[in-house]
Amino acid sequence: MHEGDTLVAGAGLCDEQAVETLVTEGTKYIKQLIEWGGEFDREGGKLVFTQEAAHSRRRIIHAHGDSTGAEFVRSLIARAGQEKTINLTPFANTESLIVRDGRCVGVRFLDPVLRQPREIYAKAVVMATGGAGQLYQHTTNPPVATGDGMAMAYFAGAEMADMEFIQFHPTALNLEKAPRFLLSEAMRGEGGSLKNKYGERFMPRYDERAELAPRDIVARSIVAEMRRTGTRTVFLDMTALDEDFLKHRFPKIYETCKFYGLDIAKDMLPVSPASHYCMGGIRTDLWGRSTLPGLYAAGEVTCTGVHGANRLASNSLLEGLVFGARAGSAAAADSLKAQVSSPKSQDARPVALDLEHGTQISTAVKKRVKRIMWERVGILRDKDSLKRAIKEFDQIAAGNLSTSSRNFVTLARLVATSALWREESRGGHFRNDFPEQDDKFKVHSIQEIGSPIYGSEKISPSVQIKNQ
Ligand SMILES: Cc1cc2nc3c(=O)[nH]c(=O)nc-3n(C[C@H](O)[C@H](O)[C@H](O)COP(=O)(O)OP(=O)(O)OC[C@H]3O[C@@H](n4cnc5c(N)ncnc54)[C@H](O)[C@@H]3O)c2cc1C
């Protein structure tokens, strides 16, 4: 069962209502995406389903072999382009949220065409800026995944939940001069095995589910095996599979590996873990409402409670679809009641922003934060490493920083603070000094600017009350 698999992967911290919403409404939105032109892989006219880690059966559709996310984006943008009431401004960089009388009433952004800072007012703002994988030195995420949407929401007064839960993907390509390209979970789902430098398959020694164990277990097993054998890599072996099948099933991976001199049908592929997904984010209810009235959120920037302490593979695109639709309809419905007295609602207008320090994250800050996160707030954590990380983040934050640099280091501090607070190991969060799961911590960590961190049994209810 999809619901059961999601709850097991979430290690006791999933919001059951959120998971139920995901699995019951998911099919409806997938069908809608197909009606809107989404093209998913088929055989004989029928959709092809694959299996990924911790799924008990084949239930995952894919597009163009291994480009499912790109197909979601392509079909959604094409659909949005058909709506006359939607104005798309590609490459606009949002800098901060505008808050008046405790309500989010708009955004400040850098207009890419006019090359000018501007602000735009609205009765509702929906944040969909994605995750924060770039906080780490090694990541599968694109350069834009810096998590600034999370930091903007935090600075504007929204609550953040479960920031300590970061998913590390076990198998990112590990070649010196190549980016950490993702070698998809589905490769193990289709029969790939993990081997150490001696060519020995090691996963059965760590977990009875072997290569199909949840990601956090596979990632930690790889780290343990690398330490045991004194190496910085293990290998993904796909050589038992048919070459034509591999070319057809994983075309992008096949081509990328070929570009770097590897034939996935013949060579052992060097892999190691890399940061991949943030389970935590802006605390929302089941309709994408944050705790800041007027601010809604959907996708990886949120914590809806769907993923708990660990995301089940491929649940994120589905979460974006289901809760994106819900956030959109709640934003529209709530807007009818909202009284917002702001200048020229919906018209973007020029504004003076402090651009003295530039709008980008400084290279030095980025490099230092990423290294600290990888070494001290990474796959294996403990009290000392986390305290040292927080101290270093405070030193960095005391400097004269651009807004983007401040966002970046603040977000890193939020992850480290919640990881220090959670004195147990659960899902994507592993403490060497507290290696067991402890039911005292079967709660969500909540952080809000100006208040101490605390644990909450629920993600949703208090959020709804505050927004009424
Ligand atoms: C390599 C890889 C493979 C994956 N494969 C799968 C898979 O097969 N199935 C699955 O379910 N999930 C998969 N995931 C996870 C999934 O892709 C993400 O969780 C999902 O894309 C998140 O969607 P999103 O819309 O929330 O954010 P994103 O897709 O990250 O989109 C966020 C957008 O916001 C923009 N943005 C960011 N900051 C700002 C700002 N300040 N101002 C303006 N715009 C901004 C970004 O440029 C980006 O366009 C994969 C992730 C990676 C990295």
**What CATH number is given to the structural domain containing 374?**
1.20.58.100
The per-residue pLDDT for 341 is: 60
Give me the mean pLDDT over the 208-225 stretch: 91
Identify the H or E element spanning 368: helix 363-376
Please give the tally of structural domains in the chain. 1
SS3 category, 439: helix
Residue 114 resides in a domain = no
The per-residue pLDDT for 358 is: 55
The per-residue pLDDT for 221 is: 95
Give me the mean pLDDT over the 134-151 stretch: 95
Residue 408 is part of which domain span? 355-467
Residue 82 resides in a domain = no
Q: Is residue 20 very low, low, confident or very high in pLDDT (cuts 50, 70, 90)?
A: very high
Please report the sign of the dihedral spanned by the C-alpha atoms of residue 391, residue 424, residue 136, residue 196. Answer: positive
The per-residue pLDDT for 464 is: 52
SS3 category, 362: coil
Average of per-residue pLDDT values in the chain: 91
Identify the H or E element spanning 103: strand 103-111
Lowest-confidence pick of 175-184, 228-237, 314-323, 377-386: 175-184
The per-residue pLDDT for 351 is: 60
**409: pLDDT strictly greater than 80:** yes
Q: Is residue 104 very low, low, confident or very high in pLDDT (cuts 50, 70, 90)?
A: very high
Catalytic site includes residue 381: no
End-to-end CA distance of the chain: 35
Give me the mean pLDDT over the 286-310 stretch: 97
pLDDT digits (tens, 9 = 90+) for 385-396: 999 999 999 999
Residue to mutate (ligand 1; options 95, 146, 317; most atoms within 8 A of CB): 317
The per-residue pLDDT for 345 is: 47
Residue 62 resides in a domain = no
C-alpha 428 – ligand 1 centre gap (Å): 19
The per-residue pLDDT for 352 is: 57
Residue 5 resides in a domain = no
pLDDT digits (tens, 9 = 90+) for 301-357: 999 999 999 998 889 999 999 999 999 999 999 998 877 665 554 555 556 555 555
Q: Are 216 and 167 in contact (CB under 8 A)?
A: yes
* 224 closest CA partner among 53, 382, 419, 432: 432
The per-residue pLDDT for 77 is: 95
Count of C-beta atoms within a 10 Å radius of residue 296:
29
Residue 436 resides in a domain = yes
C-alpha 314 – ligand 1 centre gap (Å): 12
Q: Residues with beta carbon inside 6 Å of ligand 1?
A: 68-69, 92-94, 128-131, 140-141, 144-145, 148-149, 182, 277, 299-301, 314, 316-317, 320
Q: Which atom of ligand 1 is nearest to the CA of 318?
A: 11
Residue 178 resides in a domain = no
Q: Is residue 45 very low, low, confident or very high in pLDDT (cuts 50, 70, 90)?
A: confident
**CB under 8 Å to 262, separation ≥6 — which residues?**
175, 269
